[in-house]
Amino acid sequence: MAAAPYRGRRMVAALVLLSGFALILFRLFNLQILQAAELTVKADRQHRKAVSVQGPRGSIYDRHGKVLAINMEVPSVFGVPASLDDPSGVARDLSPVLRVRAGEIEKKLKQERSFVWIARKLDPEQGRRLERMPLGGIGVVMEGQRFYPKGPLLSHVLGFAGMDSQGLEGIERRYDPSLRGEKQMVVLQRDALGRTVFPKGLHEQAPSAGHNVILTIDEVIQYIAEKELEEAVTATRAKGGIVIVMEPRTGAILAMAVNPRFDPNTVQAISADRWRNRALTDTYEPGSTMKIFVAAAALEEKVMEPETLVYGENGRMVVAKTVIHDHDKLGWMTFAQVIQRSSNIGSVKTAMALGAERLYRWLRAFGFGERTEIDLPGEVAGLIKEPRDWERRSLASIAIGQEIGVTALQLVTAVAAIANGGWLMKPYTVSEIRDEKGRVVVQVSPQVRRQPISPESVHTLSKILEGVVTHGTGSKAAVPGYRVAGKTGTAQKIDPKTGAYSSHLSVGSFVGYVPAEDPRLAIVVVIDEPQTEAWGGVVAAPVFRRVAEQALQHLGISSQEPVKLAMTTSSEMARP
Amino acid sequence: MKTLIVIAAMGLLLLYVWERVEIVRVGYQIERLKVKKVALERERDELQVKLSALTSPERIARVATEKLGLAPPQRGQVILVNVKPEAPAHGEPAMPDVKLARNEPVGKVP
């Protein structure tokens, strides 16, 4: 048999193979059955990685969908000092990209730590350059960064978000629960190389993004208000100022400018004092603008009529052993003229005719001494004492806007109530909240708080306030082609050193609305501590005019007056 | 008969293995697409930030006045024509306000 000599060999081969398989089977049995439980846990630990993921923060838009705040992923660089062989070499390579001195980076990399941030929140271009550099022990992660692409525009209203995307001021703070992205633990499966693998059997769902917030603010009107305010503050060398533009019919805020401004992109470098939205966190003594509400009360209570004659005492009157002055020696004048010429004495007499209780009730009715409940954080109620706490001079003082603290927002809200026929509205800055797919989550509608005054009295008062601009102290607020109603205010400030009214520190203001016959804009202008001139009619009224003029044009509100057309030359007209 | 069963079993086994391999392959593909999506979204956000920074009214005003020598329209240069909405001709929609601008140089133009 020729096969015989091979039989032994075949047996050996078979034996070797069999024992090999047996070994494998044994190992398999060992791994898959005996150690199965323990190893599964081990493997899972290596394959799966649980990470906390947060959906991106929602954006903030103006009323026309212009982006005012948006999130963007930007690179941050970290180092693992333990796995670096040549820290100084790596530092030299990183230095030009990060624009940080090599020495500083090296110092960080030589620390006895397992993880160290080298630079956080760089710009995307730097990230792309880093990705192209093969550096061991250095890693790049993406972090969400808040951007305010318009810089300082609307900064006091927008506020800002912190390093960890939490809203800290303004809209960012008030609407943080809506803006904030959903936080979720996500289990990722990784393969042997550490790449993420599609997880089997797991429903994968990314955490949803935060909601988008749409404001009532009009970016262009906001810009106009900020620009004109800035110019006025510079020209009068004032400490600062406020402009608020409101839609009287709804209470929607179209613009809210606070000067000096700040850039929310570089907020770390700015003191907290600059962030405050002083339009609603700070009160001031309004001065003569208060006369509007004294007049409103007098008209509604039928204490005065526009033609009622009031004697001006030739500009000097003694009340509670103190002297009240007028800027002019005024004699007999009508009640309308009291307001139009801003007579302190006439206003004090009106308040006396009303009496303390009624005056107080009326000022409260117009919202002074209580929050307007605007949807922004930090609002104060202002200060108005109850009549039982008044001193002998208080009635007279309050009649001319002293001994009372109001916010610019309260003032414009109250004036808007006169503009819209008597409805005190709740001011608001957010009109809509939408989810990431654009579906409306919250729709804000205008809210009436109350109707403090009848349409008839409003009509009469509005005529008087138009007179302030046509032939009174507010002539510089006149907008050609439109009827403007409003009131100037000049208030002395209390000198913090002496506790008495200062002779050189003042607040000049103008508050009014336009067009008077169908008001579309209520505007307040407050100039704080102007150095060149104190009068509200001089420092604030022109700002009102310039803001109103441009805003009316932007909104396409046409003039009611006939316009003379100056024709251009025929050659120019003929051109196609 | 037996061979047929064996072949069918082998076929099923192969199908199963192929399916598993395919799941992994598509899984990786999905991951790659996700990475791409994230990159594209990032680019979109970056462009949006750029766009809104470039269209900020402050910048537009600066470019218009400093680079292009434009000036804001002066009084009387823009005339809003108010077409009374109460007289729509035969159910036609009312005309919106029309802006007319006159050509008239204002100030000095570089």
Q: Is the ipTM of this complex over 0.85?
A: no
Contact A143, A74 (CB under 8 A): yes
For residue B11, the distance in angstroms to the closest alpha carbon of chain A comes to: 24
CA A15 – CA A13 distance, rounded (Å): 5
Looking at residue A571, its pLDDT comes to 46
Determine whether the interchain pair B24/A197 forms a contact, defined as Cβ–Cβ distance below 8 Å: yes
Q: Report whether pLDDT(A572) > 50.
A: no
Class of A52-98+106-215 per CATH? alpha beta
* pLDDT at residue number B73: 81
List, by residue number, the catalytic residues of A.
Answer: 288
Section A102-117 average pLDDT = 82
Q: Reply yes or no on whether the pLDDT at A201 is more than 50.
A: no
Report the DSSP beta bridge partners of residue A406: A284
Residues forming beta bridges with residue A214, ordered by sequence position: A61, A432
DSSP single-letter state for residue B47: H
Model confidence at A292, pLDDT cuts 50, 70, 90, reads very high
Where in chain A is CATH 3.40.710.10?
219-555
In this structure, the number of other CB atoms found within 10 A of the CB of residue A188 comes to 18
Average pLDDT, chain A: 88
pLDDT at A493 over 50: yes
- Cα torsion through B102, B104, B108, B110, rounded to 10: 70
Contact A155, A264 (CB under 8 A): yes
Across the interface, of A72, A219, A568, the residue whose CB is closest to B102 is: A568
When pLDDT is cut at 50, 70 and 90, the band that residue A352 belongs to is very high
Residue A243 has pLDDT above 60, yes or no: yes
Tell which CATH classification among 3.40.710.10, 3.40.1410.10, 3.40.630.20, 1.10.220.70 matches the domain A219-555. Answer: 3.40.710.10
List pLDDT tens digits, range B26-79: 988 988 998 898 889 888 988 999 999 999 999 999 999 999 999 888 777 777
A556/B73 touch (CB, cutoff 8 Å), yes or no: no
Q: Is B16 exposed, middle or buried (0-12, 13-18, 19+ CB in 10 A)?
A: exposed
- Strands A430-434, A212-215: pairing is antiparallel
The residues of chain A that CATH labels 3.90.1310.10 are: 52-98+106-215
Q: Kindly list the residues from chain B whose CB atom is less than 8 angstroms away from the CB atom of residue A144.
A: none
- pLDDT tens figures, B87-100: 444 544 444 455 55
Cα dihedral value A557, A562, A568, A573, nearest 10: 70
**Per-residue pLDDT tens digits for A125-180:** 888 888 787 777 788 888 888 999 999 999 999 999 887 778 999 999 999 999 99
Q: Of A26-35, A422-431, B99-108, which has the strongest mean pLDDT?
A: A422-431
> How much is the pTM?
0.82
What is the three-state SS of A34-93? Answer: HCHHHHHHHHHHHHEEEEEEECCCCCEECCCCCEEEEEEEEEEEEECHHHCCCHHHHHHH
CB proximity A566 to B under 8 Å: yes
State the pLDDT at residue A188: 66
Q: What would the two tokens of residue A73 be?
A: 């992923």
The reply to whether B74 touches chain A by the CB within 8 Å rule is no
User: If you average pLDDT over residues A194-221, what whole number do you get?
Assistant: 76
Q: Identify the band that residue A562 occupies on the pLDDT scale cut at 50, 70 and 90.
A: low
* Distances A214 to A62, A71, A150, A156, A218 between C-alpha atoms, Å: 6, 15, 16, 16, 11
pLDDT at B110 > cutoff 60: no
The 3-state DSSP class for residue B50 equals helix
Give pLDDT, residue A175.
96
When scoring B56, B62, B84, B99 by the number of chain A Cβ atoms within 10 A, the one with the most, hence best to mutate, is B56
Rounded distance between C-alpha atoms, residue B49 and residue A191, angstroms = 36
Provide the pLDDT for residue B109. Answer: 39
- pLDDT over 90, % of chain A: 61
Q: Is the pLDDT of residue A214 over 50?
A: yes
**Residues pairing with A514 in the sheet:** A521
Q: Averaged over A347-373, what is the pLDDT?
A: 95
Q: Does B18 touch chain A (CB under 8 A)?
A: no
Mean pLDDT value of segment A501-520: 92
Answer yes or no: are the C-beta atoms of A358 and A350 closer than 8 Å: no
**Three-state SS for A342?**
coil
| C-alpha distance from A259 to closest chain B C-alpha (Å) | 16
Q: What is the pLDDT of residue B100?
A: 53
Instruction: State the pLDDT confidence band at A189, using cuts at 50, 70 and 90.
Output: low
- Per-residue pLDDT, averaged over A527-541, amounts to 92
Q: In 10 A of CB A486, how many CB atoms?
A: 32
Which residues of chain A neighbour B48 with C-beta distances below 8 Å?
67, 70
Domain ranges of chain B: 2-57
CB spacing of A549 vs B97 below 8 angstroms: no
Asked if A122 and B46 touch (Cβ cutoff 8 Å), the reply is: no
pLDDT at site A84: 77
Bridge partner residues of B70 (DSSP): none
For residues A413 and A127, which has the higher predicted lDDT (pLDDT)? A413
Is it the case that residue A113 has pLDDT exceeding 80? no
Q: Is the dihedral of CA A29, A35, A37, A39 positive or negative?
A: negative
| Closest CA relative to residue A47, chosen from A36, A39, A57 | A39
Q: Which residues contact A456 (CB under 8 A, 6 or more apart)?
A: none
Contact A147 B102 (CB under 8 A): no
B82 touches chain A (CB under 8 A): yes
Asked whether residue B107 carries a pLDDT value surpassing 60, the answer given is no
Q: Does B24 touch chain A (CB under 8 A)?
A: yes
Whole-number pLDDT of residue A97:
84
CA-nearest residue to A220 within chain B is: B57
